[in-house]
Chain A
């Protein structure tokens, strides 16, 4: 990796895997170049002194509010399942996850 390269094809492949997005081999370099340009711009943050500065995770401080623990109707099962790609026995169906 040259000094000016911030992200490698191998790292793009790794990040795509973590993000569960299949990227064709032929597309990796295109994404790498674009991400590299964006990360290169963001390197400007390196020059800012943040010693002793607390992070802002939420701009507006809101205490976790409490509400009454009441039983309320859920969405009707058939309406929810109507949107699913595959349904079996009243649940969402996916390819086999465990060997039996």
Chain B
């Protein structure tokens, strides 16, 4: 099979498999061959499961031959971020501390993919333990941006976004704590959805910040992202925070058209804080939405500018507690020592990279005696103010629009020694996360240097249908998402 399948979307590939035009095994085989030829250059994948993928593809073909009704992702190759557990397949989180770890179970979302007859072909690169905005903190070397190999793909789900942008798979899963599917999607010119906290089960997602983590789809089209979200969303009793409420028909929402929706524009986000080329592209997208029948109103989020401080206190406090499980006792690396405390401290010294150490120490500091009120508690109170800003905004609009990132992809190495400048890359993605909203990033233009620019829409909790309704119509009216890297 030639390159004709490379840029086809997941729904088209599924229809070809269901219609018998191509077997799942041949389809998946062609993607695996391409991954073998091109994967190395991009650094997007940490592990390719050729045998497991072909076995699953043959199962799908067998089900079709037996006359069974195939699932919504039948035969579709999917790449999965390497912080999602895959039974018997390495799951490293981009960290030396979990090098070689093979989980004894699948994450809930991986189970859901398999039940939908999708085929997991590879695990994707990420910032170590999902901590980063550039993929450079991965212990196994950074993924690169397919639009320009000397640029970062964003993070932390940089490998997933790069793989989809480069046509290595039509769709992928990432995880998003403060922007980790949206920002890499923006940098790589693809679409990603950060679902509402509780919309998707976190069972089998290696925890970073448990009050914020969500698994989300990355795809080249809004409709593909919507169909993957439909597969992974819903109640799972193994995650007590997964919401027991019906999952909307996201595919239908994509066809409804945005006429009459009110789009709230945060003027401050289009001011000095963003690159002029980003402001111009996002400004044009506002006009495109207006032309589609949306009403555009101005909204104000006066506390959103504090999101970087709040997020890096709250998320790292939670991380410092969550990551205590990586202690060299039950899985992963162990550095031997005379006593347990030294064994743990040396295991973590060798197993974690500098960014993870920095964050654990910052979180530990924020929770420690004498600093808890001044840092952690204060941050959680300012979080309330950020959330209240959105409550007020959503009285006047259905969606809140900002850029996804203040800049296009930056150069590899540019921010790696300056953690604070790295954190500021998340200034627009953090507020919706802290407020518990859902949000989407979708391409809205390119810089003169040919780098993608992303548009972020945020909606109230469990209103993912609004996101895809507006974004699918926007894609129908524009062609940014149809461009591919050379």
Contacts and interface: CB of A to CB of B under 8 A. Distances in A.
A42 B244 contact: no
A39 B377 CA distance: 15
B105, B198, B362, most chain A CB atoms within 10 A: B362
Contact of B383 (A7, A18, A56): A56
Nearest to A86: B334
Contacts of B379: 45
A94 B340 contact: yes
Interface string A82-99: 111110000010111100
Interface string A19-40: 1111100000001001101110
B360 A19 contact: yes
A82 B105 CA distance: 13
B384 A41 contact: no
B365 A15 contact: yes
Interface in B313-349: 313, 320, 324, 327-334, 336-346, 348-349
Contact of B330 (A17, A37, A76, A83): A83
A60 B365 contact: no
A45 B376 CA distance: 11
Contact of B345 (A22, A44, A48): A22
A45 B337 contact: no
B435 A38 contact: no
Given A35-B358, A38-B420, A45-B379, A18 B309 contact: no
A50 B327 CA distance: 37
Nearest to A79: B104
B384 A20 contact: no
A20 B348 contact: yes
Contact of B420 (A41, A48, A75, A83): A41
A20 B345 contact: yes
Contact of A75 (B104, B332, B362): B104
B348 A83 contact: no
Contact of A31 (B240, B324, B357): B357
A15 B364 contact: yes
Contact of B382 (A16, A38, A50): A50
B384 A95 contact: no
Contacts of A17: 345
Interface string B104-129: 11000000000000000000000000
Contacts of B346: 22
Contact of A50 (B105, B331, B358, B378): B378
A9 interface: no
Interface in B221-255: 237, 240-241, 243-244
Contacts of B309: 41-42, 44-45
Interface in B401-435: 419-420, 423, 433-435
Contact of A18 (B105, B364, B380): B364
A21 B348 contact: yes
B419 A34 contact: yes
A67 interface: yes
Given A15-B368, A20-B345, A53-B385, A85 B334 contact: yes
B198 A60 contact: yes
A4 interface: no
B343 A45 contact: no
A78 B346 CA distance: 27
Given A55-B380, A62-B198, A79-B104, A95 B358 contact: no
Given A41-B309, A95-B338, A84 B344 contact: no
B82 to A, nearest CB: 16
B332 A85 contact: yes
A20 B360 CA distance: 10
Given A44-B309, A62-B241, A20 B329 contact: no
Nearest to B367: A18
Nearest to A83: B331
7 contacts: A21-B357, A31-B358, A50-B378, A55-B383, A83-B102, A84-B329, A95-B336
Given A16-B361, A50-B381, 11 more contacts: A20-B344, A38-B362, A44-B309, A53-B381, A59-B211, A59-B461, A65-B237, A83-B101, A85-B329, A85-B332, A95-B337
